[in-house]
Amino acid sequence: MDNVWLTAAIVVVPLIAGLCLIGVLARGIYNNPNVPNGAAIMLGVAALLCVAPTIVNLTIKNGGTEISFVKEQLQTQTQQIKSDFGAQGGRLNGQIEELRRRVAALEKASGAAATTAAAASPNSSKVVVLLYVEDRKDLAVQMQTYLLAQGYSANAVYTDFTELSDASHLASGAVAVVSADSVAPLRKEVEGVLKAKFSQQMQNFVDIGSAKLVGTSIQVRLF
Q: Where are the domains of the chain?
A: 2-67, 71-222
Q: Which residues contact 83 (CB under 8 A, 6 or more apart)?
A: 129, 213, 215, 217, 219
Quick one: CA torsion of 182, 186, 190, 193, rounded to 10 degrees? 160
Residue (of 56, 201, 209) closest to 142 by Cα position: 201
Express each pLDDT in 37-95 by its tens digit: 666 666 666 666 666 555 555 554 444 444 455 556 656 667 677 777 677 777 777 67
Residue 90 sits at the vertex; the CA angle it makes with 120 and 103, to the nearest 5 degrees, is 35
Contact 76, 212 (CB under 8 A): yes
Other C-beta atoms lying within 10 Å of the C-beta of residue 56: 13
Express each pLDDT in 183-204 by its tens digit: 999 999 999 999 999 999 999 9
Q: What is the number of alpha carbons within 13 Å of residue 188 lying toward its C-beta?
A: 5
Express each pLDDT in 205-221 by its tens digit: 999 999 888 888 999 99
The phi, psi pair for 152, rounded to 5°, reads -75, 160
pLDDT at residue 63, as a whole number: 47
Question: Residue 119: pLDDT above 80?
Answer: no
pTM of the model: 0.58
